[in-house]
Amino acid sequence: MNTINRIMETHPLTWRLRNDHEPVWIKEYKEKHGYLGAKIALKNQPNEIIQLIKDSGLKGRGGAGFPTGLKWSLIPNNPKIHTKYLICNADEMEPGTYKDRLLMEKLPHLLIEGMLIASYAIQANNGYIFLRGEYIEAAIHLQKAISEAKKNNLLGQNILNSNFNFNLILHTGAGRYICGEETALLNSLEGYRAIPRNKPPFPANSGLWGKPTCINNVETLCNIPAIVEHGIKWYKNLSLKLSNDSGTKLMGFSGKVKNPGVWELPLGITAREILEDYAQGMKNNYTLKAWQPGGAGTEFLMPEHLDTPMDSVHIRNIGSRLGTALSIAIDHKTNMVSLTKNLEKFFSRESCGWCTPCRDGLPWIVKILKSLEKKEGKKEDIKILKNLCYFIKPGTTFCAHAPSAIGPLKSAMQYFKIEFEEGIKKIIK
């Protein structure tokens, strides 16, 4: 097997990337097996494609990790329902996360092909890419790729003479982190205030404009073409034996590391391997104090956790979440109270304000952390923070925004209790 074929077999997401970092446009994409998966899918029955993705074990790559095939199967298969929607959640705003940006800027046709297959599987004739507004280069590249796909009969009417129609529209958001929550995204796309909706009904039954809607992350959709082309066994064998998940994942490290970046790696690789072999370790004069495995909304872990396999189950078992799998290295010079305050400030600012625990609880946390940072905290502040961690959790808020914000705070207080206690103002007698 030559080098190109070997990389193609082991790196389905990134093997097409160019060495000069230019985007891969449609002519080159087709030369590199582009739209082969779509051609195969269109010759099969939609329910066969759904079952294939189910059996592959692909989970959502946006952070929640919900099984993709199962999500597709929830869309009603009713011939009387003529309008369904497929939406790509490309509102990547998690601090420390930049994986979807790579795919959209460099491999826009991979996303379009993934959406074409997904739309055929659930029989949705209309799709949207809901893109973070600040991703200007991604917007330009995606729009060009959509135009190329239309000219090549890969979007629009009677795609590849299959009698299947699919229209795809690029929509840029106005810049709200809450739009990463899928029902807030739906409200924003409809022109309303970006706030989460009541569930049930779930989007699969009543989503965009009240119609059945499936929402998938960019990286999730980009996995689809290779699974269709190469099959279930191949995809499952991409991950390491210790892993509970299938396939590869875009993972990386940022922070005070020598080589920050993102790489396509097999699920089950350890965080230590990513940090030392790919990110090349911490910069000189810096040591690792803590790390977040999957973005700013995941719980802090310690250096002794680095040998944990990077997958949803193993990371959950040590008290955090895989999230986006873009890890953040915290160096020994960083004050955890200050870092946690910055994170909570972000989450507080990005709250939609719809429910009380989030609207009032997060600013309260920021206020207390500011006092502790200035060494002006009160004795009862630590207890208040612990109480807020207890009361702001899944089931007490309208969506997962505030509980995600609590994760870093709760874990920082667990591992670095002394740093928080040092912020209490000493009363001179």
Q: Which of 372, 195, 382, 407 is CA-nearest to residue 301?
A: 407
**Domain ranges in the chain with CATH number 3.40.50.11540:** 3-236
**Three-state SS annotation for the chain:** CCHHHHHHHHCCCCCCCCCCCCCCCHHHHHHCCCCHHHHHHHCCCHHHHHHHHHHHCCECCCCCCCEHHHHHHCCCCCCCCCCCEEEEEECCCCCCCCHHHHHHHHCHHHHHHHHHHHHHHHCCCEEEEEECCCCHHHHHHHHHHHHHHHHCCCCECCHHHCCCCEEEEEEECCCCHHHHCHHHHHHHHCCCCCCCCCCCCCCCCCCHHHCCEEEEEHHHHHHHHHHHHHCHHHHHCCCCCCCCCCCEEEEEEEECECCCEEEEEECCCEHHHHHHHHCCCECCCCCEEEEECCCCCCCCECHHHCCCECCHHHHHHCCCCCCCCEEEEEECCCCHHHHHHHHHHHHHHHCCCCCHHHHHHHHHHHHHHHHHHCCCECCCHHHHHHHHHHHCCCCCCCCCHHHHHHHHHHHHHHHCHHHHHCCECCCCC
3-state secondary structure of 199: coil
Q: Is the pTM of this model over 0.85?
A: yes
Q: Which fold has domain 336-421?
A: de novo design (two linked rop proteins) (1.20.1440)
User: Quick one: tokens of 80?
Assistant: 């009387």
User: Quick one: tokens of 317?
Assistant: 């078992």
Residue whose token pair is 């060495």: 19
pLDDT in tens, the chain (429 residues): 455 666 778 999 999 999 999 999 999 999 999 999 999 999 999 999 999 999 999 999 988 889 999 999 999 998 888 899 999 999 999 888 999 999 999 999 999 999 999 999 999 999 999 999 999 999 999 999 999 999 999 999 999 999 999 999 999 988 789 998 999 999 999 999 999 998 889 999 999 999 999 999 999 999 999 999 999 999 999 999 888 899 999 999 999 999 999 999 999 999 999 999 999 999 999 999 999 999 999 999 999 999 999 999 999 999 999 999 999 999 999 999 999 999 999 999 999 999 999 999 999 999 999 999 999 999 999 999 999 999 998 889 989 999 999 999 999 999 999 999 999 977 544
**Domain ranges in the chain with CATH number 1.20.1440.230:** 336-421
CATH 3.40.309.10 fits 248-331, yes or no: no
**Domain ranges in the chain with CATH number 3.10.20.600:** 248-331
CA distance to 13, 104, 149, 364, 398, per residue, from 195 (Å): 32, 26, 33, 21, 9
Query: For the domain 3-236, what is the CATH code?
Result: 3.40.50.11540
Identify the DSSP state of 275.
Answer: I
